[in-house]
Chains A and B, each alone.
Chain A
């Protein structure tokens, strides 16, 4: 026990607690917005795609291009590029709040693609059957497509959440707060290896828990 205290002499536990909470808030909030924004974009990507219900080559190309651009910028660059926009939007680019807009800019397009993919996996026959019942496009989306794709979408939310955990840690570089910020300021810049180890361990646990919960939910909603 004493050895353990010795080994972790630099660790400020209340600080770790706050940082963990900050990470939780950043991931939670950015995940919420990523889903709210990414889901409709994913549905539109699917519907306007080739041989789909609302086939619209131009709309698809534009949407797809924007999503690709956001996804191809490395997140660390996106963080910096977004600073002026973030300041305009919420008044600061620092702290937990300042990290959320770039996290959403990274998470939403990522999630949109996952939604598009899971919708494509829905059997075309189900869409056809629903159409044959006299359903409108809106009814097909909400009555058949989304419920059928739900397990895939939940898996997508899990993957997005985990990606956001790592993005959130990165936002420490531009003063984003949370465990990443702690790891960079104490673990890296002050050579406090013990702080580094603890933050990494917490991030690992966080990701494990997310994956486990996600898998359980997917299983629960899978009827296949």
Chain B
């Protein structure tokens, strides 16, 4: 478990303290995939670097599994960092070392593994990230997705309990992003590793995260389970991210809604409700006519969800609303 207790960070620039992270409380449970989303400069990079003390906090306490890590001396800190893997946007592999040597590197640095242990572990990790055939290649000979796989294997070498992902998919194309995210999800499930992932793409959060914190200007402005934050965003920044990820143009949406007749509702289905043939039944029961203004069915992590914007004309709206609610559908009246 990672706990931030009023943790803050500011930088001294020309004698003035510029805050990068305002005092923040945060709890990340063991074994969960926690997403931190925000625009560049929102402080998410600082936040994730506080967890392995690449950045030193200027206030507050950071507890990992109950132990305060702020005041670790250099030896303790080095031992602690071995238990926290990290992957990066630009992979940060050593260009002078082969794939196998890159993966072995953290184990060699630790100085507590025998040669045979290292060789064995490297083989095992190469197989896990499907790169066994590329062991003796240099990073420059690999594609972006392959490089990130090496990065992941390297991060796992010393069997960490936490994996930090710093914009790990931002430099990858959509297809490669998908396969890297799948790999991260597998690792999380199979190894029970806690993953902290920062990104500026809500889509990444939607696919792999359990919970998410949205950051803006050095503050966490919204936090909660991904389905809550994603389907019912409260803060304007969060809304921006959600709209962006669904490629919704807000002005266009407003225009579409203004042309529609009657009442406008947004229905959110989660889990099994997504597949139920509900709309027709409710329309019949309540005697309403409906038209679909926009809609989307997708997954949050492995759970399906649907979101429909409807305009309803005639009939009994209250009957329709209670019928939706009875079927576990969240209803929001937009107009």
Q: Which residues of A contact B (CB under 8 A)?
A: 123, 125-126, 128-136, 139, 143-144, 147-148, 150, 221, 223-224
Closest CB in chain A relative to B111 CB, distance in Å: 9
Complex Cα distance, B105 from A143, in Å, reads 8
Asked whether A147 and B96 contact (CB < 8 A) given A133-B106, A133-B109, A136-B74, the answer is: yes
Closest CB in chain A relative to B218 CB, distance in Å: 21
Closest CB in chain A relative to B158 CB, distance in Å: 8
Whether B96 lies near A132 (C-beta < 8 A) is: no
- Mark out the residues of chain B between 12 and 33 whose CB falls within 8 Å of any chain A CB in the assembled complex: none
Whether A148 lies near B79 (C-beta < 8 A) is: no
Whether B54 lies near A144 (C-beta < 8 A) is: no
Beyond A132-B52, A132-B164, 14 extra complex contacts between A and B, CB < 8 Å: A123-B92, A125-B92, A130-B105, A133-B154, A133-B158, A134-B78, A134-B80, A134-B82, A134-B109, A135-B109, A136-B74, A147-B94, A148-B95, A224-B140
Whether B54 lies near A223 (C-beta < 8 A) is: no
Closest CB in chain A relative to B7 CB, distance in Å: 18
Please tell me which stretch of B83-91, B123-131, B275-283, B297-305 contacts chain A, meaning at least 4 of its Cβ atoms lie within 8 angstroms of it. Answer: B83-91
Complex Cα distance, B141 from A224, in Å, reads 9
Size class of B's contact patch?
20 to 34
* Across-interface contacts of A130 in B (CB, < 8 A): 105, 109
Whether A147 lies near B82 (C-beta < 8 A) is: no
Complex Cα distance, B160 from A193, in Å, reads 73
* Across-interface contacts of B97 in A (CB, < 8 A): 147
Cross-chain pairs A/B with CB under 8 angstroms, 8 sampled: A125-B90, A130-B105, A132-B164, A133-B158, A134-B82, A135-B78, A148-B96, A224-B95
Enumerate the 4 nearest inter-chain pairs by beta-carbon distance, A residue then B residue, closest first.
Answer: A134-B81, A129-B92, A125-B92, A134-B78
A interface: dominant SS? helix
* Across-interface contacts of B108 in A (CB, < 8 A): 143
Complex Cα distance, B80 from A135, in Å, reads 11
B324 contacts A by Cβ under 8 Å = no
Whether B94 lies near A148 (C-beta < 8 A) is: yes
Residue in B closest to A150 when the chains form the complex, CB atoms = B96
- The answer, among A125, A150, A223, for a CB contact under 8 Å with B138, is A223
Asked whether A136 and B78 contact (CB < 8 A) given A125-B88, A223-B138, A223-B139, the answer is: yes
* Across-interface contacts of B95 in A (CB, < 8 A): 148, 223-224
B333 contacts A by Cβ under 8 Å = no
Complex Cα distance, B159 from A134, in Å, reads 13
Complex Cα distance, B95 from A147, in Å, reads 9
* Across-interface contacts of A150 in B (CB, < 8 A): 96
Residue in B closest to A129 when the chains form the complex, CB atoms = B92
Closest CB in chain A relative to B89 CB, distance in Å: 8
- The answer, among A126, A134, A144, for a CB contact under 8 Å with B110, is A134
Asked whether A143 and B96 contact (CB < 8 A) given A132-B54, A224-B140, the answer is: no
Closest CB in chain B relative to A150 CB, distance in Å: 6
- The answer, among A123, A125, A126, A143, for a CB contact under 8 Å with B109, is A143
Complex Cα distance, B106 from A148, in Å, reads 16
- The answer, among A129, A135, A139, A148, for a CB contact under 8 Å with B86, is A129
Whether A126 lies near B94 (C-beta < 8 A) is: yes
- The answer, among B54, B82, B93, for a CB contact under 8 Å with A128, is B54
Complex Cα distance, B92 from A131, in Å, reads 12
* Across-interface contacts of A148 in B (CB, < 8 A): 94-96
Complex Cα distance, B88 from A48, in Å, reads 26
* Across-interface contacts of B93 in A (CB, < 8 A): 126, 129
Residue in A closest to B151 when the chains form the complex, CB atoms = A129
Complex Cα distance, B90 from A224, in Å, reads 14
